Amino acid sequence: MSRFNPRSLLVAVAVGLISAGSCLAQALPAVSAFSRTPHASLVALSPDGSRIAFVTNDTGGNLILLAAHLASGERRISNISGLVPHTVLWADNDSLVMVASQSGRLPYLEGMVDFTAAFGFEINNGFEPVRLMSRQNSSGGIGSNLGEEGNTGLDLNRGRIAGRVPSTGEVMIAINSVSRQRDLHRASPGSRRSTLVHEGGASTVRFFLDRDGQAVARMDYDAVGDYQSIRVLRGGNWEEVFALEDSRIEGLEVYGLLPSGDLAVGYYMDDHLSVLPLSLETGVIGAPIFQNQQFDHSRIICDPHSNLVRGVEVEAQTPTQVWFNAGIDQLRGQLEAALGGVPTTIETWSSDFTKILVATHPANGPTVYYYFDGETGALSQFANSHPDLADVQLPAREPYSYAARDGTPIPGYLTRAAGAGPQPTIILIHSGPQSHGSLLVHGQPEARANGRFDYWAHFLGSRGYTVLQPNFRGSDGYGYAWARAGDGQWGRLMQQDISDGVNALTEAGLADPDRICIVGASYGGYAALAGATLTPDLYACAAAFAPVTDLPAMLGFIDRRTGLSSAMQAGFRRSILGENDLLSFTEADNVSPRHLAPDLSIPVLILHGESDSVVPIEQSVFFNNAARDRDLVTFIRLEDGDHWLTQPQTRETLLTELERFLAEHLGEE
């Protein structure tokens, strides 16, 4: 396999990329090898494929956006420390746009909130960040609080990129106006100013662009009337072509335009989330263009160069993709074969698909990126996401299934510790519990365990623990019925599925029944504390990050934050109380760890970020204060820590404290 020539290596070597890794074979890799910021993330190739941009760290540990010319090695760097980057895209071959956020407070809104904005960077103009759609000058933009002037409470999110305008190098951004309607603006990456292109309606949610960057459709949703509609621009007017009532929970997911000119939409058919074409001429929905009878798609592949939907990503037992263009789909398969059959996904590409960056997802190590030049046929390693682990043989995370008490097979992943006989074991619970089911709300970033590199699981495996990650009923990705089976089942069926996994491992001789700990974050943190209080005999200890501990209180928080008619509130309420509020608040109290904490009998570790904008830190305070035996609870506040563990220092603290806690309570007998 060939490698880049020395000139093109200059860029990567400068930030420690493409090296085989500095970690020689060792028994115990450092915590920082897992917690550090990935060496390449949000990777994006320019339209002509000559440049590549990505988020990484410099030698001083600062978070930076780096853009490099692949042939000459010329590079541009901008310090973006203090921000949480979400998206990087090229407006043209010489300018970039990054969407990023940071947490803060507003005087009239409870708790922490996320402020989101778009920033422009010009290769030939100093590569200094310019906050788009802002009245502030650029020099004070990136380091200042995004909740200040220019991004006030009128709209906390000024980073809704609808697409790009290829002919001008501009981007289209949807923002809320003073009148609270969502309008579409055209903005240049080098300017804070913008031009109003289209006014939206009072209920407009999204605009959809064609390959020329022209808005051709929009989606509206009336929360009060629970009414979703698709409107098409005809003769200067937005005409309704499709409508759906009672859509707050089960509406269409609308993705973007297809090359055919139809609108790609998502809907559950035959129990699984399918992609279907919706005609913008007639409003008629056609036959599915993607449908999988086992797994739902987890992500839509949108082409940042053409604004078009190109395919889907599927978290099957291992990650894979289905491209709607047969030639591209075949190429992905060929590249996967050339890379030894390791699951491979296309991450970014030039507009003509002659330059491609792919990612491989081995079961026993971090993500590895490879650059493919379609003109020469050369395939070269570009980066390892965690180079300090490149030479470390981590335990493999493999698909694993066990039977629940009612006989239902529960899928998941198992990382087996080395050695014969029962081993100390971690039951690692994902967040969520599900994210699909609402057309308006992007759910949690992870609502099921998947087959990609998992720094939690691989870290725990490296410490000699067997790790089970169950995708219990209520998890995403396995169809509508599987996800809905968790509604109203917090602390009940979902927790039973988890408990059945513990019993399955002990009966199989894989887990030492006296050395099992349940661990999780967000919903997983709830499940960990529910395990500690509802079924303490199963566990020697429990550890939770950002847990929900009082279900009615969390519902009240979301009510106050989003409103009683919001899709987020409706989805969360159904998840906790069940369809049509099947459960009462008293029944929700009965499975809230806060109210069970007085009888806590096993050690518990809780960590919570003080800047958490999703689950307020008060949820952890509730549990800590309610525990009658305070010596059983270790509660650590993470200064500046957010819900997503975006800061490497926060991740290192969490893993360090977790390692110490597990060694104390699951150590040698």
Six-digit token pair at 381? 């390693």
Q: In what order do the strands lie in the sheet with 237-245?
A: 204-209, 215-222, 227-234, 237-245
Q: Which residue has the tokens 């072509």?
A: 241
Q: Tell me, what's the pLDDT at 92?
A: 97
Determine the residue type at 426: I
Q: What is the pLDDT, as a whole number, of residue 564?
A: 67
- CB proximity list for 560: less than 8 A, separation 6 or greater: 110
Q: 500 pLDDT exceeds 50? A: yes
Express each pLDDT in 562-596 by its tens digit. 876 677 888 889 999 998 888 899 999 999 999 99
Residue 469, pLDDT > 80, answer yes
Q: How confident is the model at residue 9 (pLDDT cuts 50, 70, 90)?
A: very low
Nearest residue to 344 (alpha-carbon basis) of 325, 354, 355, 329: 329
| Sign (positive or negative) of CA dihedral 652, 653, 658, 664 | positive
**pLDDT above 50 for 3:** no
Q: pLDDT averaged over the chain?
A: 89
pTM above 0.75, yes or no: yes
Q: Give Cβ neighbours of residue 242 (< 8 Å, ≥ 6 apart).
A: 229, 230, 278, 283, 285
Which of 313, 306, 389 shows the shortest CA–CA distance to 349?
Answer: 306
Residue, of 511 and 178, whose pLDDT is higher: 511
List, as one string, the DSSP characters of 96-110: EEEEEEEEEEETTEE
- Tens digit of each residue's pLDDT (9 = 90 or more) over 314-348: 999 999 999 999 999 999 999 999 999 999 999 99
Q: What is the pLDDT of residues 368-421, one digit of tens each?
A: 999 999 999 999 999 999 999 999 999 999 999 999 999 999 999 999 988 888
For the chain, give the number of residues. Answer: 669
pLDDT greater than 60 at residue 631: yes
CB-based contact 242:278 (threshold 8 Å): yes
Average pLDDT score over residue span 89-107: 93
SS (H, E, C) 645-669: CCCHHHHHHHHHHHHHHHHHHHCCC
Distance (Å, rounded) from C-alpha 116 to C-alpha 99?
7
pLDDT tens-digit series, residues 419-431 = 888 999 999 999 9
What integer pLDDT is reported at residue 249 of this predicted model?
A: 58
Please, which pLDDT band fits residue 442 given cuts at 50, 70 and 90? very low
Looking at residues 14-27, what average pLDDT do you find?
39
User: In one letter, which amino acid is 407?
Assistant: G
What CA–CA distance (Å, rounded) separates 588 from 550? 8
Phi first, then psi, for residue 604 (nearest 5°) are -135, 135
- Look at residue 669 in the predicted model and tell me its pLDDT: 56
Task: Please write the tens of the pLDDT for every residue from 188-239.
Answer: 999 999 999 999 998 999 999 999 999 999 999 988 888 999 999 999 999 9
Question: Quick one: DSSP state of residue 306?
Answer: T
Asked if residues 479 and 314 have their Cβ atoms less than 8 Å apart, the reply is no
Q: How many angstroms separate the CA atoms of 455 and 428, rounded?
A: 12
pLDDT of residue 421: 84
Alpha carbon distances (Å) from 428 to 110, 412, 588, 641: 31, 10, 23, 21
Residue whose C-alpha is closest to residue 622's, from 556, 669, 566: 556
- Determine the pLDDT at residue 179: 76
What are the residues facing 356 on neighbouring strands?
349, 372
Provide the pLDDT for residue 479.
94
The pLDDT score that the predictor gives to residue 609 is 96
- Distance (Å, rounded) from C-alpha 276 to C-alpha 289? 6
pLDDT at 14: 34
The Cβ-side half-sphere exposure at 227, using a 13 Å CA radius, reads 9
Percentage of the chain lying above the pLDDT 90 cut: 78
The amino acid that residue 508 corresponds to is: A
Mean local confidence (pLDDT), 483-497: 96
- Residue 154 or 665, more confident: 665
Task: Tell whether the model's pLDDT for residue 22 goes beyond 60.
Answer: no
Q: What's residue 207's pLDDT?
A: 98
Compute the distance between CA of residue 269 and CA of residue 290 in angstroms, rounded to an integer.
11
* pLDDT score for 441: 30
Q: Which residues contact 564 (CB under 8 A, 6 or more apart)?
A: none
How much is the pLDDT for 562?
81
Higher pLDDT, 18 or 402: 402
At 137, is the pLDDT very low, low, confident or very high (cuts 50, 70, 90)?
A: very low
Mean of pLDDT values over 456-463: 96
Q: 265: pLDDT confidence band, cut at 50, 70 and 90? A: very high
> For residues 37 and 23, what is the distance between their CA atoms, to the nearest angstrom?
16
Segment 279-305 shows an average pLDDT of: 96
